């Protein structure tokens, strides 16, 4: 039996390699921690301020222009000069509050009121969630620990989305960890309790930030088609229960359900001047089309979902071709990539959510089997090209292109490749000689 590098799963070489890679990963993560600690955390600051304002200043609607300006000014005055909080407050003198009420509720639940302490806590928690997410998705994809750690090192050391996330302290690392936890639970065979728990996590994830809604829709389709009605009901019950609980918690925190309607309304009126390409909005489809409405975005997402659902439907007569953990990683990854491909707003750190699919399609890259030209293209060359495209940073300096051209082009192309490979995987599951037992969660 062989692992993904072709060495015996219990070989001394592999154990030594894993130890060395773990040390390198720790060093890379230390650099990532230092990068995060050297910035003000302007996105986290906004989440933190809204929670503080709701809790201590009786704010019930943080989504109006008047309140955004008022809170920015008030919390700038309350900050101490030369502090991290003061730097963040200066950068966010007018808040950009477009997140869900539950996101503000959840972030405030972890806060103490001391920005320095709370920022460090959020940074540490996000980093732990990110490490778990990358390693878990790698393992679900069929990678040994050595391959999963290699992916982690590359992302931490070279990926522009990770660097961007560390600089602004957004929520994408936390989202990655939550999706991975749900994926691990989805990979458990014949366990309705695990499906319910996975659904609850996915429902909460949508209420936290709805950019994962497409992934949850595709997961529900996959479970209903390949596992049947009972499994679908368990998953659906978990999704509904998780979403309902998060809604109730946010209503209790805001003292009103009106915050949700105000949030929904404000999404349609985000000013163009704060989401320009020059500021880092690298959404590929609006750039390609020269602009895009919310309706066009929804239609694009629907069109991109059709081949995925069709491939799942065609696969209902051969469910044994799909290993549950790898299928979970693939479907979650496809949902995230479709969201990125069809969205009107994609900041650089949003691309962090494309790595689950990048890891899923790379899961067979280290299989020790002879491959023909097509297999080499499918399992090794195209996944590697897409993964490098997601990293983006390595070739930026030598490209000679401005950032508003380079990043949408390179990372947008990576999304297209990943989407095509993911649909191909569903339509024709790979059959390779690997040690399944040594490369999956129990």
Structure tokens at 336: 């995230």
Q: What is the Cα–Cα distance from 286 to 284, expressed in whole angstroms?
A: 6
> Which residues are 392's β-sheet partners?
159
pTM: 0.92
Q: What is the Cα–Cα distance from 103 to 248, expressed in whole angstroms?
A: 13
> Which residues are 347's β-sheet partners?
281
Residues in the chain: 442
pLDDT (tens, 9 = 90+) of the chain, 442 residues, equals: 344 444 344 578 888 999 999 999 999 999 999 999 999 999 999 999 999 999 999 999 999 999 999 999 999 999 998 899 999 999 999 999 999 999 999 999 999 999 999 999 999 999 999 999 999 999 999 898 999 999 999 999 999 999 999 999 999 999 999 999 999 999 987 789 999 999 999 999 999 999 999 999 999 999 999 998 999 999 999 999 999 999 999 999 999 999 999 999 998 788 888 888 888 899 998 888 877 888 899 999 999 999 999 999 998 887 777 889 999 999 999 999 999 999 999 999 999 999 999 999 988 776 556 678 888 888 889 999 999 999 999 888 888 889 889 999 999 999 999 999 999 999 988 764 444 433 433 3
Q: What is the Cα–Cα distance from 303 to 313, expressed in whole angstroms?
A: 16
Structure tokens at 442: 């129990």
| Dihedral angle of Cα 132, 138, 143, 148, to the nearest 10 degrees | -60
Cα–Cα separations (whole angstroms), residue 116 to 86, 88, 123, 400:
11, 11, 11, 39
Number of CB atoms found within 10 A of residue 257's CB = 12
Query: Domain locations in the chain?
Result: 12-439
């Amino acid at each position: 039996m062989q692992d993904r590098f072709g060495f015996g799963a219990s070989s001394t070489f592999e154990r030594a390699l894993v130890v060395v890679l773990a040390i390198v990963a720790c060093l890379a993560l230390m650099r990532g921690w230092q990068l995060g600690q050297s910035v003000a955390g302007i996105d986290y600051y906004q989440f933190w301020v809204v929670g503080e304002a709701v809790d201590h200043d009786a704010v019930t609607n943080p989504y109006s222009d008047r309140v955004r300006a008022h809170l920015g000014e008030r919390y700038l005055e309350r900050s101490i000069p030369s502090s991290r909080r003061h730097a963040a407050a200066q950068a966010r003198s007018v808040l950009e509050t477009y997140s869900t009420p539950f996101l503000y509720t959840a972030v405030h639940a972890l806060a103490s009121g001391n920005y320095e302490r709370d920022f460090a806590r959020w940074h540490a928690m996000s980093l732990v969630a990110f490490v778990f997410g990358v390693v878990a998705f790698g393992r679900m994809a069929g990678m040994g620990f050595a391959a999963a750690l290699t992916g982690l090192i590359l992302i931490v050391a070279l990926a522009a989305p990770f660097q961007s996330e560390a600089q602004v302290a957004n929520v994408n690392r936390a989202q990655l960890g939550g999706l991975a936890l749900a994926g691990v639970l989805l990979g458990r065979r014949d366990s309705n309790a695990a499906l319910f728990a996975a659904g609850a996590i996915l429902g909460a994830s949508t209420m936290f930030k709805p950019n994962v809604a497409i992934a949850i829709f595709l997961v529900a389709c996959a479970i209903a088609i390949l596992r049947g009605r009972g499994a679908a009901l368990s998953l659906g019950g978990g999704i509904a229960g998780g979403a309902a609980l998060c809604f109730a918690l946010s209503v209790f925190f805001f003292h009103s359900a009106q915050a949700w309607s105000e949030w929904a309304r404000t999404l349609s009126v985000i000013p163009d001047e704060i989401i320009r390409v020059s500021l880092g909005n690298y959404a590929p489809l609006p750039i390609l089309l020269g602009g895009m409405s919310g309706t066009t975005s929804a239609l694009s997402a629907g069109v991109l979902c059709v081949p995925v659902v069709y491939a799942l439907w065609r696969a209902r007569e051969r469910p044994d071709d799909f290993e549950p953990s790898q299928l979970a990683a693939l479907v979650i990854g496809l949902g995230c990539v479709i969201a990125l491909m069809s969205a009107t707003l994609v900041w650089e750190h949003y691309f962090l959510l494309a790595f689950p699919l990048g890891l899923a399609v790379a899961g067979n890259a280290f299989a020790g089997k002879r491959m023909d030209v097509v297999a080499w293209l499918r399992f090794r060359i195209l996944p590697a090209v897409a993964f490098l495209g997601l990293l983006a940073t390595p070739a930026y300096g030598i490209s000679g292109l401005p950032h508003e051209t380079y990043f949408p082009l390179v990372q947008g192309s990576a999304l297209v490749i990943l989407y095509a490979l993911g649909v191909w995987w569903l339509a024709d599951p790979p059959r390779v000689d690997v040690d399944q037992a040594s490369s999956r969660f129990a």
